[in-house]
C-alpha cells in the first residue's frame, strides 16, 4: 500500500513566530484507500475536520505558548 494523496498544512503563530508543518496522507491501493487522522501538533492545539474523500483539514489552531489564533496555510 502506498501514498495516494496528501494534504499539507503550515501553522504559524503571528506573535511568537512558532511554525509547524504537517502532512496527512491517504494510503491504499486500487482496491481501497483511507486517510490518516489529523495528528496532534507540538506547538499548536489544532481542531481537525474530516472532509470524507478530501481528507482531514485544519479548521482552527491556537498557539500553546501565546494562546492566540494561529495562521493556517494549506489546501
* 6: DSSP letter: E
Residue 46 is placed in which grid cell? 489544532
pTM: 0.85
Q: What is the pLDDT along the chain (75 residues), one digit of tens a residue?
A: 577 889 999 999 999 999 999 999 999 877 888 999 999 999 999 999 988 888 999 999 999 999 999 999 987
Per-domain residue ranges for the chain?
A: 2-73
- How would you list the strands of the sheet with 2-12, edge to edge? 32-35, 19-29, 2-12, 71-73
Residue 74 is placed in which grid cell? 494549506
Amino acid at each position: 500500500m502506498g501514498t495516494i494523496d496528501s494534504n499539507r498544512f503550515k501553522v504559524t503563530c503571528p506573535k511568537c513566530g512558532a511554525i509547524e508543518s504537517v502532512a496527512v496522507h491517504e494510503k491504499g491501493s486500487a482496491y481501497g484507500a483511507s486517510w490518516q487522522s489529523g495528528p496532534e501538533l507540538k506547538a499548536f492545539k489544532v481542531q481537525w475536520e474530516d472532509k470524507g474523500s478530501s481528507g482531514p483539514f485544519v479548521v482552527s489552531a491556537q498557539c500553546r505558548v501565546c494562546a492566540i489564533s494561529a495562521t493556517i496555510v494549506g489546501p
